Amino acid sequence: MPPLLQVDDLTVRYRSSDRGQLVALEGVTCDIGVGEAVGLLGESGCGKTTLGLALLGLLPTAGNIIRGSAIFGGRNLLTLRERELRKVRGAGIAMVHQEPGAALNPVLRVGEQVAEVLRAHRRLSRERAREEATVLLAQVGLAKETCIEAAYPHQLSGGQQQRVAIAQAISCRPALVIADEPTTALDTGTQLEILNLLRSLREQLQLALLLITHDPAVLMRAVDRILVMRDGRIVEQGSTRELTQKSQHAYTQELLNSKLLGQRHEGYKPRVAPTPEALDSADLCAPPHLMETHHPHREPGTDATNERGSGPEEVDASDAAPVHSACQPTETEALLCAVDLHKRYVQGRWLSRRRHPIEALCGVGLKLRVGSTLALIGASGSGKSTLARCLAGLERPDSGEIRFGGIDLAKLTRHELIPFRRQIQLIFQDPGSSLNPKFTAVEIISEPLLTVRPGTKRESAARALAMMELVGLQADWGQRLPHQFSAGQRRRLAIARALALEPRLLILDEALAGLDLPVQAQIVDLLVELQASLSLTYLYISHDLSLVAQLADQAAVLHQGQIVETAAMPDLLAMPQSPQAIKLVSATVELSSFQG
């Protein structure tokens, strides 16, 4: 049987104001069979996403296809006109983009966006398209009862946005789905769910899959064959088993044997085996003081707060002792305290009976001491990003206190919050939407410097270039615009901008997700060094327990807006107590396993 897609000698270059022609792809040759799952592995900026965009004619205006062919359905995709390509996109080949938050239309409800794809390729009435969109959303794990179809993209978690993007991709039953980093910034449990979802959809719909990722562990579970890309070239390819067991290329061995990747096997097997009952109860929502299943070894009738966890009021990042009292301004060691934070959103149309309340935060309390690191972990949609935005002053909680240096930030006006903006910096989960598309890299980093610190533009630009080199970006890329960086490089740019201000508290919301493993190790070392030299305090939100273990002193597990467990990192990894923590640790073990 001939291949479904056959790419031959594909070469793509980008025009750049600072370096002339940049080679993105050089002589790429590969094929994908009918119903086959192929993985594309490589570090950030190697050209993985460019390959997917070139096949669908979605390259930016600066991108030029120099030569090559891509045969799909007997036609060369690279020579088709725009009108012909529109018929292929969605119906023949669909793409799940790396940053679903940026790919989804911010002013359309997600149900309408899925229906829009259906109506673009099939003759359906609006009502019929809406009905099929609801079925598709349910097929990817978004139940009708949650009223997801009536929500806007910004009202969804990263995992929910990813599922909506997948629903769009499969809506017209394409022969090939290109999934670009579909598990980036998702917790390990949701990653497994997305990978299992893609596998089941392949079986049900007979789809072929091109899975693009920097994470070898993801490919081990999801694909039949792997292509390894470096600097725009395919340097090695073979079956998943062959490459993992006897790779011939040094670059492939470096990716598979990375320092961080090896550490994923260390310390993640809980001594308390997760029981089916515990995993089932992990999906239940109950107030922390009523969830007796959080500590399976506690005798009935004992206090719900033990030597490892905190009560429902507050989590202390400095030690594992329970904290019951609210923060006092006289506590000089406490940099930030949050007490009984509540935040509610409402999904659905105004004046509609189908308005659906979402309790994003339900009485969250935590304390961050100077120079400490608290990791916040939890499933997608548990409220982590909402908490981060509230603590950074970007959203106002419905009730509760956020004390920073003894001052309640929740009660300050926007003008009164200005002096605290520099001291608390938030690195967003979606870097593409947080960078000004019209600013160069130097301008992006130096803009906050010019705002809050005296100095000349030349001094600010020099510091910006130094920060770029600090996070692994070349200084001669300073005049590039955000779209000229890969998604992983944009994450580094966002980190550089936040660190340039030398904040006292840095909130990292999945800041290292999407970066290849060697770069993750570099940024981790940088953060540790900066914390030691500047007494920085970190609130680190992540799904990757290997990174959390290296950075954090304490971890708090968030579930449906409530902190259900807190413990020292070694204790949490070795013996998780709450069903939610058990589920996260067990998913990490399963995802890190190379048995597939």
In whole angstroms, give the CA distance from residue 157 to residue 72. Answer: 35
- 261 pLDDT higher than 80: no
pLDDT for the residue 326: 42
Token reading at 199 = 């596998």
| Bigger pLDDT: 284 vs 409 | 409
Higher per-residue pLDDT: 146 or 85: 85
Answer whether residue 318 shows pLDDT above 60: no
> What is the pLDDT averaged over residues 101-116?
89
522 and 376 share a domain?
A: yes
Same structural domain, 239 and 344: no
338 and 248: one domain? no
Across the beta sheet with 20-32, the strand order is 20-32, 5-16, 63-72, 75-76
Q: Which helix (H) or strand (E) holds 8?
A: strand 5-16
Provide the pLDDT for residue 531. 85
Judgement on whether residues 253 and 394 belong to the same structural domain of the protein: no
Q: Are 532 and 539 in contact (CB under 8 A)?
A: no
Chain-centre distance of CA 414, in angstroms? 29
Is the residue at 293 inside a domain?
Answer: no
Considering the domain architecture, whether residues 216 and 337 belong to the same structural domain is answered as no
Beta strands in 318-415 (DSSP E): 334-347, 356-369, 373-377, 399-404, 407-408
| DSSP structure class, residue 478 | T
**Low-confidence winner among 243-252, 319-328, 378-387 (lowest mean pLDDT):** 319-328
- Tell me the mean pLDDT in the region 298-322: 41
Q: What is the pLDDT of residues 430-468, one digit of tens each?
A: 776 788 989 999 999 998 888 877 678 888 999 999 999
- Inter-residue contact 561 to 357 (CB < 8 Å): no
Query: Per-residue pLDDT averaged across 473-487, rounded?
Result: 85
On whether the CB atoms of residues 561 and 382 are closer than 8 A, the answer is yes
Per the model's pLDDT, the better-predicted residue between 143 and 8 turns out to be 8
Q: Give the pLDDT confidence score for residue 128 in this predicted structure.
A: 93
**pLDDT band for position 220 (50/70/90)?**
confident
- On the 0-12 / 13-18 / 19+ scale of CB atoms within 10 A, 534 is middle
Whether residue 579 is predicted with pLDDT greater than 80 in this model: the reply is yes
Of the residues 222, 257, 292, the one at which a domain ends:
257
Average pLDDT, the chain: 80
Domain-located, residue 541: yes
Final residue belonging to a domain, choices 257, 286, 302? 257
Same domain (yes/no): 238, 337? no
- Average pLDDT on 291-301 reads 32
For 328, counting Cβ atoms within 10 Å of its Cβ (0-12 exposed, 13-18 middle, 19+ buried), the class is: exposed
**Residue 175 φ then ψ, to 5°:** -80, -25
Mean pLDDT of 282-301: 33
- Structural domain contains residue 338: yes
Tens digits of residue pLDDT in 178-210: 999 887 766 677 778 778 888 888 888 888 999
pLDDT over 80 (residue 587)? no
- Report the pLDDT value the prediction gives residue 301, as an integer from 0 to 100: 36
3-state secondary structure at position 565: strand
pLDDT in tens, 116-140: 999 988 889 999 999 999 988 988 8
Helix (H) / strand (E) containing 313: none
Instruction: State how far the Cα of 580 lies from the Cα of 560, in Å rounded to an integer.
Output: 10
pLDDT of residue 312: 40
Does some domain include residue 55? yes
Between 16 and 365, the more confident residue is 365
Residue 362 has pLDDT above 80, yes or no: yes
Quick check: 556 pLDDT over 70?
yes
What's the confidence (pLDDT) of residue 97? 87
Buried b / exposed e across 105-140, counting CB within 10 Å, b at 16+?
A: eeeebbbbbbbbbbbbbeebeeeebbebbbebbbbb
Kindly state whether residues 225 and 337 are assigned to the same domain. Answer: no
Residues 336 and 227 placed together within one structural domain of the fold: no
pLDDT of residue 489: 82
Residues 18 and 106 in one domain: yes
Confidence bin at 347 (pLDDT 50/70/90): low
Q: Are residues 188 and 102 in the same domain?
A: yes
What is the model's pLDDT at position 488?
72
| Residue 451, phi-psi category: left (phi > 0), alpha (psi -120 to 50), beta (remainder) | alpha
Instruction: Give mean pLDDT, residues 147-167.
Output: 84
Q: In terms of domains, do 64 and 187 share one?
A: yes
**Hey, is 128 helix, strand or coil?**
helix
pLDDT for residue 50: 93
Q: Indicate which CATH number applies to the domain containing 33.
A: 3.40.50.300
Q: How confident is the model at residue 592 (pLDDT cuts 50, 70, 90)?
A: low
- Decide the pairing of beta strands 537-541 and 334-347: unpaired
The rounded distance, in Å, linking the Cα atoms of 432 and 100 is 10
Mean pLDDT along residues 205-224: 87
For residues 111 and 196, membership in a common domain is answered with yes
Least Cα distance to 582 among 562, 560, 564 occurs for 564
Look at residue 328 and tell me whether its pLDDT is greater than 70: no
pLDDT band at 348 (very low <50, low <70, confident <90, very high): low
Q: Please check the confidence at residue 496 and state whether its pLDDT lies above 60.
A: yes
pLDDT of res. 551: 85
Quick one: pLDDT at residue 298? 33
Residue 517 binned pLDDT confidence (cut-offs 50, 70, 90): confident
| Among 175, 177, 162, CA closest to 38 | 177
Asked if the model's pLDDT at residue 34 lies above 60, the reply is yes
Question: Is 449 within the bounds of a domain?
Answer: no
User: What domain range is 145 assigned to?
Assistant: 5-257
Residue 473 falls inside a structural domain: no
What's this model's pTM, rounded to 2 decimal places?
0.70
Residue 358 lies in a domain: no
Residues 6+ apart with CB under 8 A from 488: 43, 44, 45, 214, 514, 515, 516, 519
SS3 407: strand
Bigger pLDDT: 85 vs 534:
85
DSSP E strand boundaries for 132-199: 176-180
The number of domains in the chain is: 2
Structural domain contains residue 273: no
Instruction: Return the minimum-mean-pLDDT range out of 257-271, 427-441, 569-583.
Output: 257-271
Q: Is the dihedral of CA 161, 594, 510, 293 positive or negative?
A: positive
- Range of weakest confidence among 132-136, 317-321, 482-486: 317-321
Burial-class residue 333 by CB neighbours within 10 Å (0-12, 13-18, 19+). exposed
User: What is the Cα–Cα distance from 168 to 311, expressed in whole angstroms?
Assistant: 42
Domain boundary pick from 257, 278, 313: 257
436 burial type by CB count under 10 A (0-12 exposed, 13-18 middle, 19+ buried) = exposed
Residue 344 and residue 346: Cα distance in Å, rounded? 7
Count, in order, helices (H) and strands (E) of the chain: 22, 20
> How far apart are alpha carbons 289 and 240 in whole angstroms?
47
